[in-house]
Amino acid sequence: MGVLYLRAEEIVETEEILESEEITFKTVYRDDHVFETRGIVYVRGDMDDLNTVLLDVHDYRHWILDGLTRRSVQSDELPALLVDVLVDPQNSDEIKIIYDLNRFLKFRGLSASFRTEWDYGASGVLRSLSFIYSGRKSYLREGRYTFNFTETAEGIGIEFVCEARLSGLLDLFFTVRIYDKNMSFYIRGLSGNLKKRLESDSQTP
Protein backbone atom coordinates (compact mmCIF):
# COMPACT_ATOMS: atom_id res chain seq x y z
CA MET A 1 0.00 0.00 0.00
CA GLY A 2 1.41 3.36 -0.95
CA VAL A 3 1.30 6.64 0.90
CA LEU A 4 -1.05 9.38 -0.27
CA TYR A 5 0.31 12.81 -1.02
CA LEU A 6 -1.29 15.92 -2.44
CA ARG A 7 -0.46 17.22 -5.88
CA ALA A 8 -2.13 20.25 -7.45
CA GLU A 9 -5.80 19.50 -8.17
CA GLU A 10 -5.55 15.79 -7.40
CA ILE A 11 -4.63 13.12 -4.89
CA VAL A 12 -2.04 10.65 -6.18
CA GLU A 13 -0.88 7.37 -4.65
CA THR A 14 2.86 6.86 -4.64
CA GLU A 15 5.05 3.93 -3.60
CA GLU A 16 6.58 3.81 -0.15
CA ILE A 17 10.27 4.69 -0.16
CA LEU A 18 11.47 1.52 1.55
CA GLU A 19 9.85 -1.02 3.79
CA SER A 20 8.79 1.15 6.71
CA GLU A 21 9.18 4.74 5.57
CA GLU A 22 6.32 7.16 5.09
CA ILE A 23 6.35 10.39 3.17
CA THR A 24 3.92 13.26 2.76
CA PHE A 25 4.26 15.63 -0.12
CA LYS A 26 2.66 18.84 -1.35
CA THR A 27 3.80 21.16 -4.14
CA VAL A 28 2.23 24.54 -4.93
CA TYR A 29 3.07 27.38 -7.29
CA ARG A 30 2.93 30.61 -5.29
CA ASP A 31 1.86 34.03 -6.46
CA ASP A 32 5.50 35.17 -6.35
CA HIS A 33 6.38 32.56 -9.04
CA VAL A 34 8.06 30.19 -6.60
CA PHE A 35 7.53 26.44 -6.61
CA GLU A 36 7.20 25.37 -2.99
CA THR A 37 7.35 21.72 -1.91
CA ARG A 38 6.72 20.75 1.70
CA GLY A 39 6.48 17.42 3.45
CA ILE A 40 8.05 15.03 5.88
CA VAL A 41 9.74 11.65 5.61
CA TYR A 42 10.77 9.25 8.36
CA VAL A 43 13.92 7.11 8.39
CA ARG A 44 15.16 4.72 11.05
CA GLY A 45 18.33 5.70 12.88
CA ASP A 46 19.56 8.03 15.61
CA MET A 47 20.61 11.64 15.46
CA ASP A 48 24.29 10.96 16.19
CA ASP A 49 24.55 8.68 13.16
CA LEU A 50 22.64 11.20 11.05
CA ASN A 51 25.06 13.95 12.08
CA THR A 52 28.05 11.79 11.15
CA VAL A 53 26.68 11.02 7.71
CA LEU A 54 25.54 14.53 6.82
CA LEU A 55 28.62 16.33 8.11
CA ASP A 56 30.86 14.30 5.80
CA VAL A 57 29.92 16.33 2.72
CA HIS A 58 32.96 15.13 0.74
CA ASP A 59 31.47 11.63 0.87
CA TYR A 60 28.09 12.70 -0.58
CA ARG A 61 28.94 11.81 -4.15
CA HIS A 62 29.62 8.20 -3.13
CA TRP A 63 26.06 7.53 -1.96
CA ILE A 64 23.60 10.38 -2.26
CA LEU A 65 22.66 9.84 -5.93
CA ASP A 66 23.05 6.06 -5.89
CA GLY A 67 20.61 4.59 -8.41
CA LEU A 68 19.24 8.01 -9.41
CA THR A 69 21.66 8.91 -12.20
CA ARG A 70 21.05 5.85 -14.38
CA ARG A 71 18.74 6.52 -17.28
CA SER A 72 15.51 4.54 -17.20
CA VAL A 73 11.96 4.88 -18.43
CA GLN A 74 11.09 6.67 -15.20
CA SER A 75 14.07 9.04 -15.14
CA ASP A 76 13.74 9.90 -18.84
CA GLU A 77 10.28 11.29 -18.09
CA LEU A 78 11.78 13.79 -15.65
CA PRO A 79 12.40 17.37 -16.80
CA ALA A 80 15.79 17.42 -15.06
CA LEU A 81 18.15 14.58 -14.19
CA LEU A 82 20.82 15.00 -11.49
CA VAL A 83 24.17 13.60 -12.59
CA ASP A 84 26.76 14.34 -9.88
CA VAL A 85 27.48 16.21 -6.66
CA LEU A 86 30.83 18.01 -6.43
CA VAL A 87 32.18 19.55 -3.23
CA ASP A 88 34.83 22.28 -3.30
CA PRO A 89 37.98 20.65 -1.83
CA GLN A 90 38.97 23.98 -0.29
CA ASN A 91 35.55 24.92 1.09
CA SER A 92 33.15 22.16 2.10
CA ASP A 93 30.30 24.67 2.32
CA GLU A 94 30.34 25.08 -1.47
CA ILE A 95 28.60 22.36 -3.47
CA LYS A 96 27.98 22.09 -7.20
CA ILE A 97 25.17 20.01 -8.68
CA ILE A 98 25.66 18.67 -12.21
CA TYR A 99 22.41 18.01 -14.08
CA ASP A 100 20.88 17.40 -17.51
CA LEU A 101 17.69 18.86 -18.94
CA ASN A 102 15.55 16.12 -20.41
CA ARG A 103 12.24 17.34 -21.76
CA PHE A 104 11.77 20.69 -23.47
CA LEU A 105 15.46 21.50 -23.80
CA LYS A 106 18.08 18.77 -24.21
CA PHE A 107 21.15 20.19 -22.50
CA ARG A 108 23.76 18.02 -20.78
CA GLY A 109 26.31 18.74 -18.08
CA LEU A 110 24.76 21.93 -16.70
CA SER A 111 25.78 23.02 -13.21
CA ALA A 112 24.24 24.90 -10.31
CA SER A 113 26.23 26.13 -7.30
CA PHE A 114 24.94 25.98 -3.73
CA ARG A 115 26.23 26.93 -0.32
CA THR A 116 25.29 24.99 2.79
CA GLU A 117 23.86 26.48 5.95
CA TRP A 118 23.92 24.45 9.18
CA ASP A 119 21.85 24.99 12.32
CA TYR A 120 22.77 23.24 15.57
CA GLY A 121 20.83 22.96 18.80
CA ALA A 122 22.18 23.81 22.24
CA SER A 123 23.49 20.25 22.58
CA GLY A 124 25.44 20.52 19.34
CA VAL A 125 23.14 18.19 17.44
CA LEU A 126 22.29 19.21 13.89
CA ARG A 127 18.74 20.57 13.70
CA SER A 128 18.58 21.65 10.07
CA LEU A 129 20.58 21.74 6.87
CA SER A 130 19.90 24.12 3.97
CA PHE A 131 21.23 24.20 0.43
CA ILE A 132 20.99 27.75 -0.94
CA TYR A 133 21.47 28.50 -4.61
CA SER A 134 24.48 30.79 -5.10
CA GLY A 135 25.07 30.57 -8.84
CA ARG A 136 24.32 33.08 -11.56
CA LYS A 137 24.31 31.27 -14.90
CA SER A 138 21.64 28.66 -14.48
CA TYR A 139 18.02 27.88 -15.25
CA LEU A 140 17.42 28.37 -11.54
CA ARG A 141 17.07 31.97 -10.39
CA GLU A 142 16.61 31.36 -6.69
CA GLY A 143 16.52 28.22 -4.63
CA ARG A 144 16.53 27.18 -1.00
CA TYR A 145 16.17 23.56 0.08
CA THR A 146 15.88 23.17 3.86
CA PHE A 147 15.73 19.91 5.81
CA ASN A 148 14.77 19.98 9.51
CA PHE A 149 15.59 16.96 11.69
CA THR A 150 13.77 15.69 14.79
CA GLU A 151 13.71 12.42 16.72
CA THR A 152 10.26 10.89 16.83
CA ALA A 153 8.62 7.60 17.79
CA GLU A 154 8.76 6.66 14.10
CA GLY A 155 12.49 7.35 13.86
CA ILE A 156 14.16 10.48 12.50
CA GLY A 157 11.66 12.91 11.05
CA ILE A 158 13.02 14.91 8.12
CA GLU A 159 10.76 17.85 7.36
CA PHE A 160 11.63 19.47 4.04
CA VAL A 161 10.80 22.90 2.65
CA CYS A 162 12.03 23.28 -0.94
CA GLU A 163 11.60 26.61 -2.72
CA ALA A 164 12.68 27.34 -6.29
CA ARG A 165 12.18 30.20 -8.71
CA LEU A 166 12.96 29.08 -12.25
CA SER A 167 14.26 31.25 -15.08
CA GLY A 168 11.66 32.88 -17.29
CA LEU A 169 12.03 30.41 -20.16
CA LEU A 170 11.90 27.32 -17.99
CA ASP A 171 9.09 28.74 -15.88
CA LEU A 172 6.90 28.93 -19.00
CA PHE A 173 7.09 25.18 -19.52
CA PHE A 174 6.99 23.81 -15.98
CA THR A 175 3.59 23.00 -14.54
CA VAL A 176 3.05 22.09 -10.90
CA ARG A 177 2.42 18.52 -11.99
CA ILE A 178 5.72 18.24 -13.88
CA TYR A 179 7.73 19.97 -11.16
CA ASP A 180 6.15 17.83 -8.46
CA LYS A 181 6.98 14.66 -10.36
CA ASN A 182 10.64 15.70 -10.48
CA MET A 183 10.74 16.58 -6.78
CA SER A 184 8.96 13.44 -5.61
CA PHE A 185 11.40 11.25 -7.54
CA TYR A 186 14.39 12.83 -5.82
CA ILE A 187 12.97 13.26 -2.33
CA ARG A 188 12.00 9.59 -2.28
CA GLY A 189 15.32 8.51 -3.79
CA LEU A 190 17.54 10.69 -1.60
CA SER A 191 15.76 9.70 1.62
CA GLY A 192 16.01 6.04 0.61
CA ASN A 193 19.75 6.44 0.03
CA LEU A 194 20.10 8.18 3.40
CA LYS A 195 18.36 5.26 5.08
CA LYS A 196 20.69 2.78 3.41
CA ARG A 197 23.71 4.87 4.41
CA LEU A 198 22.61 5.01 8.04
CA GLU A 199 22.05 1.26 8.09
CA SER A 200 25.43 0.61 6.48
CA ASP A 201 27.26 2.80 8.98
CA SER A 202 25.48 1.23 11.95
CA GLN A 203 26.62 -2.22 10.84
CA THR A 204 30.26 -1.17 10.43
CA PRO A 205 32.33 -2.36 13.42
pTM over 0.95: no
In this structure, which amino acid lies at residue 53? V
Checking if the pLDDT of 73 tops 80, the result is no
| pLDDT one-digit tens code per residue, 146-175 | 999 999 887 899 999 999 999 877 787 788
What pLDDT band is residue 76 in, cutting at 50, 70 and 90? low
Average the pLDDT over 173-183 and give the result.
87
- The pLDDT, as a whole number, for residue 143 is 96
The confidence score (pLDDT) of residue 130 equals: 97
pLDDT in tens, 10-44: 323 333 333 335 788 899 999 999 999 999 998 88
Residue 59 Cα to chain centre, angstroms: 16
Which of the residue ranges 22-36, 43-57, 58-72 would you say has the lowest mean pLDDT?
Answer: 58-72
Contacts 24+ apart (CB under 8 A), 38-41: 38/159, 38/160, 38/161, 38/162, 39/5, 39/159, 39/160, 39/187, 40/157, 40/158, 40/159, 40/160, 41/17, 41/157, 41/158, 41/160, 41/187, 41/188, 41/191
